[in-house]
Structure 1
């Protein structure tokens, strides 16, 4: 009789490195840049700049995270962001809408775009890359039609102060956009990690066939994920309009690469191998610290896309490795588990 295979010893240190290595890298970068730039980097001005300028990339990265949980990708994020912030300016400046009504309409429109993406992907059976790239191109066309290729600039009276305060104000001495990011991260963490909806989304993303066998309506939950993503993009569009205070038809595309870099890199942190809100927040933080330090060192403008592109490639590789390692660990655990009682069948 063959002796049972002893279970493989777990290495808690390896798990800690995988889960919190990115967070440790953030601390290390802060220390390195503080030593290299003692007069400019470790200051409140730098902290305020990071919290303010990186809020919208962080929100968009969280928006990208939700469809990735289900195994889909939304490439229309940048185009939708551009249209959303342009529509806010159009409704307030040219149509005379009250800003709260304009903001709510744009956020609802963002959710509608998400529903459209989800329906095309799931019920049209089109790959999410192709489908969202197509809808994104159409959104970009609508943006050009609304603006006629130009910018929407407020009149001499400017925008309502209450609207611009959505981005320019402070709370507890810190820029208020940072609290938007924290609140959104907390909501997504609660939904994805503690509610049945989140567990269903993870099952859909990890094994759609198993989800079908369990009776989980995979199509419906994928549409839900795209809808949530579009809703978050609509919120980001409102904040972008409050920040820039003009309607620029081409600005949204600049946020697409940072969003996916943060979302995919975040899948290697906190819960390695699976996209998660806290990991995305950590990833955006390390990217923001790195970019700020590089900028203060006097790097040229082309280093920003180089940094994001290289980070995206590394993130995809690390996320794939973490997912394979997590799957391998589950297989080993199942193989090494003691046999249960024989089935009567």
Structure 2
């Protein structure tokens, strides 16, 4: 007898409502989970800002305009280095040379200003051309000659670090840096550091190029599946080569900003700038535009680390907290990136 038929005593049998199909539940939960994953890092950043702003031990100092301006100015160079790293990574490569290229261009600009006596615009232009040339050489090695990217970029970073030390002898170049350049790194416009404004303009231009031009779309197509991109007409070798040239150019600009911010060129080999940038770019793949590096996600990640370190320092944390936090954030970023890739492959 059917469950919908009446029984012999005239009482209708209870009808059991069918349970929702599992796929329907997953489909309903999917958008919510996806939205949470996209904005989780943003929510963490907002929560940390609120926490450090209201804690009695750090609140007044953390909220002060001086601290906000310092955070913005201090992260301008790091953000620009991270953006330089974005272009090769969008095409599927890690470029471990961006920190060294940045440091090299800083030394080149300082040497041209203090020792060669070149005008500021010309010295800046030459420094940026040096960065673009370094990117071009890397692009030829990797995209044209098919050299392993890890070996090529790490070898280039080591080579440039050695050249920096050979030229500077481990000393700073401090004389002859014009005030018009150092003012860029120290002064503000309408309460916002000039160097932060310039970094924001670089970020906005990079966002437009990567998200709204054929070159940007081709970068992500190659990073996703180079063979498929070639089949639809993308000139893979040329685009990969250009990604390194653009990266070197942006790293050259970062070198000029570094000189403006510090007021001197040091013998730093650039590794101290590489790992925070790498952390930010990897974290950008798990926020906003899930699964791929993005300018907006990199900005969020840069300031997540900056706010954390600033807040912990104001709470009295020792000096080693910054490097430890950077290292931990890098490990977390790599772990989440691997997990996301595994889920994508299973689906």
- TM-score, normalising length from structure 2? 0.88
Q: Deviations over 1:103-156 (max 9, x none)?
A: 0000011011011111111222222111101111111122123223322220xx
Matched, 1:183 2:204: no
**Matched residue, 1:19:** 38
Matched, 1:159 2:177: yes
Distance 2:288 2:37 in 1: 8
Distance 2:285 2:202 in 1: 17
**Matched residue, 1:66:** 87
**Matched residue, 1:49:** 70
1:324 deviation in Å? 4.3
1:165 deviation in Å? 1.9
Aligned with residue 264 of structure 2, among 246, 249, 254 = 246
Q: How many residues align?
A: 322
- Choose 1 or 2 for highest CA Rg: 2
- TM-score, normalising length from structure 1? 0.89
- 2:87·2:246 contact (CA, 8 Å) conserved in 1? yes
Distance 2:276 2:141 in 1: 25
SS at match of 1:163: helix
**Matched residue, 2:254:** 236
Mark the runs of 5 or more structure 1 residues left unpaired by the alignment.
Answer: 332-345
Mark the runs of 5 or more structure 2 residues left unpaired by the alignment.
Answer: 1-21
Distance 2:207 2:74 in 1: 23
Distance 1:46 1:327 in 2: 44
SS at match of 2:288: coil
SS at match of 1:228: helix
Q: Superposition pairs for residues 85-104 of structure 1, below 5 Å?
A: 85-104=106-125
- 2:83·2:295 contact (CA, 8 Å) conserved in 1? yes
SS at match of 2:94: coil
- 1:201·1:222 contact (CA, 8 Å) conserved in 2? yes
Decide which moves more: 202-211 or 38-47.
Answer: 38-47
SS at match of 2:223: helix
Distance 2:321 2:39 in 1: 27
- Structure 1 residues 265 and 96 mapped into 2: Cα distance closer, same or farther (>3 Å)? same
1:251 deviation in Å? 5.7
1:320 deviation in Å? 2.8
CA RMSD of aligned residues (A): 1.7
Matched, 1:202 2:220: yes
Matched, 1:29 2:48: yes
Distance 1:309 1:241 in 2: 25
Q: Superposition pairs for residues 1-345 of structure 1, below 5 Å?
A: 9-10=27-28, 11-36=30-55, 37-154=58-175, 158-250=176-268, 252-326=270-344
- 1:152·1:246 contact (CA, 8 Å) conserved in 2? yes
1:327 deviation in Å? 5.7
Decide which moves more: 230-239 or 318-327.
Answer: 318-327
